[in-house]
């Protein structure tokens, strides 16, 4: 990689690290728009998963005192069931329509949340959490987005910021573990990948630590707004390419 490409490659790794340290997710959302112009899609996916394993593991350890496996386990079980079903459904459903629909949902929900005062959290039980995990897994299998629904759900529960992270980060980690196994089986872990991983790791880690430091200065309401803004950006990133395709007279993208 020449110097002209190295600078944006490392810079966006740092910014993605800040976002993931601050919110506990969104690394892929930040880096994908730039990295797709620098490295291959497979390398990008592998790096996002590889760094995701590190970030989520660090976050789980850091907030381990807030763990409540009663909420985590149903979400992981539902996600484990839903992910392969979502992948199977790709044979019959154009994921472009799914990205468009989820994008609209996220934009509507996050915009509403940013404009209204905080309300009392919604109640839940094990069947509901299994269902949320299933939906999260379906979306993961069909789009590769590992934490959208579970992050949204934790925000709706009205939990403190530490409790939210202690729930959705283990769920996201479980999805990354599954994705890592698939990537290893597909032969994605090559010498070039390892070089890229360690090349950007210092920038990513520096950004992540800065993000965690900034997180420590947020109160629960400020954290809620950060999550809503990132969900809004996720919705825009999902919807805009599909809208552009439709405006050009093309169907939503199959990939």
Please name which of 76, 23, 63 lies closest in space to residue 163, comparing C-alpha atoms: 63
- The whole-number pLDDT of residue 92 equals 78
Domain membership of residue 16 (yes or no) is yes
Which regions of the chain are under pLDDT 50?
Answer: none
Q: How far is 7 from 13, CA to CA, in rounded Å?
A: 10
Domain-located, residue 175: yes
Q: Is residue 39 part of a domain?
A: yes
How much is the pLDDT for 69?
A: 86
pLDDT of residue 251: 65
- Whether 255 is in a domain gets the answer no
- pTM to 2 decimal places: 0.83
Q: How far apart are CA 103 and CA 121, in angstroms?
A: 23
Instruction: Give the residue ranges of DSSP H helices in the chain.
Output: 3-23, 27-35, 41-62, 69-89, 95-115, 126-143, 148-156, 161-185, 191-215, 220-247
Look at the chain and report how many structural domains it folds into: 1
Instruction: Specify if 108 maps to a domain.
Output: yes
Residue 116 parent element (H or E): none
**Within a domain: residue 14?**
yes
Residue 86 lies in a domain: yes
pLDDT value of residue 132: 93
First to last CA, the chain: 27
The pLDDT score that the predictor gives to residue 73 is 94
Does residue 131 sit within a domain?
A: yes
Domain around 44: 3-247
Q: What is the pLDDT of residue 254?
A: 55
């Amino acid at each position: 990689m020449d110097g002209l490409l190295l600078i944006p490659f490392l810079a966006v790794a740092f910014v993605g690290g800040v976002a993931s340290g601050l919110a506990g997710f969104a690394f892929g959302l930040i880096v994908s728009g730039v990295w797709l112009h620098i490295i291959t899609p497979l390398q990008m996916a592998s790096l996002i998963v590889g760094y995701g394993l590190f970030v989520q593991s660090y976050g789980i350890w850091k907030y381990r005192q807030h763990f409540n496996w009663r909420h985590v386990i149903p979400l992981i079980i539902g996600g484990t069931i839903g992910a392969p079903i979502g992948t199977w459904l790709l044979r019959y459903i154009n994921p472009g329509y799914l990205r468009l629909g989820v994008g609209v949902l996220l934009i509507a929900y996050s915009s509403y949340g940013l404009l209204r005062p905080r309300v009392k959290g919604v109640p839940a039980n094990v069947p509901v959490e299994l269902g949320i995990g299933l939906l999260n897994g379906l979306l993961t299998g069909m789009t590769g987005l590992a934490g959208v629904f579970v992050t949204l759900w934790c925000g709706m529960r009205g939990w403190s910021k530490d409790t939210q992270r202690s729930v959705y980060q283990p769920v996201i980690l479980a999805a990354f573990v599954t994705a890592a196994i698939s990537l290893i089986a597909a032969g994605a872990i090559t010498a070039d990948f390892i070089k890229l991983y360690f090349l950007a790791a210092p920038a990513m880690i520096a950004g992540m630590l800065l993000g965690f430091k900034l997180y420590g200065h947020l109160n629960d309401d400020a954290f809620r707004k950060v999550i809503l803004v990132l969900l809004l950006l996720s919705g825009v990133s999902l919807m805009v390419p599909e809208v552009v395709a439709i405006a050009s007279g093309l169907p939503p993208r199959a990939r």
